[in-house]
Structure 1
Amino acid sequence: MKYGIAIFPSKSIQDEANSYRKRYDPHYALIPPHITLKEAFVADNTTIDNLVTELKHIANDTNPFTININKVSTFAPATNTIYFKVEPIQELIDLYEKMHQGNFPKNQEYSFVPHITVAQKLVHDEYSDVFGSMQMKKIQFEDEIDRFQLLYQLENGSWTVYETFVFGKEHV
């Protein structure tokens, strides 16, 4: 089965992201707006059980932190993806790095750029128009992050929560 790990921001950020995603992101119906901590990976039940234990330890050792989103950016020219740029604070980087060591699959394809995708797979002209108009908009959010989710992919390609891990909370 395919798994991934992500942070879901607050409803206000998700609503803003979805106002673009429903029109410009073909993955809109597959997963809510999120910050990817661990790209999709394949694992069996035993591996997932071990990773859940590790994720509980990571969550217990992590304190809630605040993220800031202050602009729209892009991965162009590599891809025509537009995103809300999440400021790469140390707590977020540390969390990401913990999920790329130990027993976790070594599947890091790109360097970590914390972001929330709002548009992707656009043809070039549409990408230029959308990015141009979004750059003129003032994007400013602050959000308290106190959990992350282990997700799994369903047969229809959509993602759903397998387990939620709350920061600093003792799990039995």
Structure 2
Amino acid sequence: MLFGIALFPEKEVQDAANSWRIRHDPHYCHIPPHMTLREAEDWSDEKLQQAISHVKAVAVQTPPFLMTFNRVSTFFPVSHVLYYALEDPAPVIKLHQEICSGPLAITQPKYVYTPHVTIGQQLAEGELHDLHGKLKISQIRYTSHVDRVHLLYQTDQGAWTAYQSFQLEG
């Protein structure tokens, strides 16, 4: 079974992201707007139990924090993804590094981790540039309180749902 770890921003951010995702993100129906902390991976029952213990330990040591989205950016030319970017990504990067250590260590990451909330993906190049040009001049400022992380699994229908949530307690 595929498992991943993510955090979900508050409703205001999700509503804003969904206003774009409904038309520009083919994964709109499968998962709410989120920030991936650890990419999806197929885990055995043993690995799942190790992951739960590890994430629980990280959550106990991590204090809740605020994150502010202040602009729209893109991963072009690497991928045709449009996303809300963070004013200060350091707290999310630190959480990602803690999650992706020990039994969940990633030995050869595919990319440099960039915390973000996707608002469009698999866009044609022209559409990506058009949307990015319009949105980068917009005033964007969404603040979200982060007080938990979620271990997710993918259902047989392709949707992602919470397996377990972990309160940040540090």
Normalised by the length of structure 2, the TM-score is: 0.94
Deviation (angstroms), 1:166: 0.4
Partner of 1:108: 109
Native 8 Å contact 2:72 2:135 kept in 1: yes
CA distance in 2 between partners of 1:44 and 1:8 (Å): 25
Native 8 Å contact 1:151 1:161 kept in 2: yes
Structure 2: any 5+ residue segments left out of the alignment? none
1:14-52 per-position Cα deviation (integer Å, ceiling 9, x unaligned): 000000000000010010000110011110111101110
Partner of 2:78: 78
Percent identity for Structure 1 against Structure 2? 37
Supply the AA of the counterpart residue of 2:66. T
Supply the AA of the counterpart residue of 2:149. F
Structure 1: any 5+ residue segments left out of the alignment? none
Supply the AA of the counterpart residue of 1:56. K
Supply the AA of the counterpart residue of 1:82. L
Partner of 1:158: 159
Deviation (angstroms), 1:56: 0.8
Cα RMSD over matched residues? 1.3
Partner of 2:66: 66
Native 8 Å contact 1:41 1:105 kept in 2: no
Partner of 2:18: 18
Secondary structure class of the residue paired with 2:136: helix
Partner of 2:95: 95
Partner of 1:29: 29
Compare 103-112 and 63-72 and name the one that shifted more.
Answer: 103-112
CA distance in 2 between partners of 1:28 and 1:45 (Å): 29
Deviation (angstroms), 1:74: 0.3
CA distance in 2 between partners of 1:162 and 1:120 (Å): 26
Secondary structure class of the residue paired with 2:127: helix
CA distance in 2 between partners of 1:117 and 1:55 (Å): 24
1:23-62 pair list within 5 angstroms = 23-62=23-62
Supply the AA of the counterpart residue of 1:34. H
CA distance in 1 between partners of 2:32 and 2:80 (Å): 20
Normalised by the length of structure 1, the TM-score is: 0.93
1:117-166 per-position Cα deviation (integer Å, ceiling 9, x unaligned): 00000111211221111112211011111101000011221111000000
Supply the AA of the counterpart residue of 2:8. F
Secondary structure class of the residue paired with 1:113: coil
CA distance in 2 between partners of 1:29 and 1:46 (Å): 30
Secondary structure class of the residue paired with 2:37: strand
Supply the AA of the counterpart residue of 1:84. Y
Q: Does 1:142 align with 2:143?
A: yes
The size of the alignment, in residue pairs, is 169
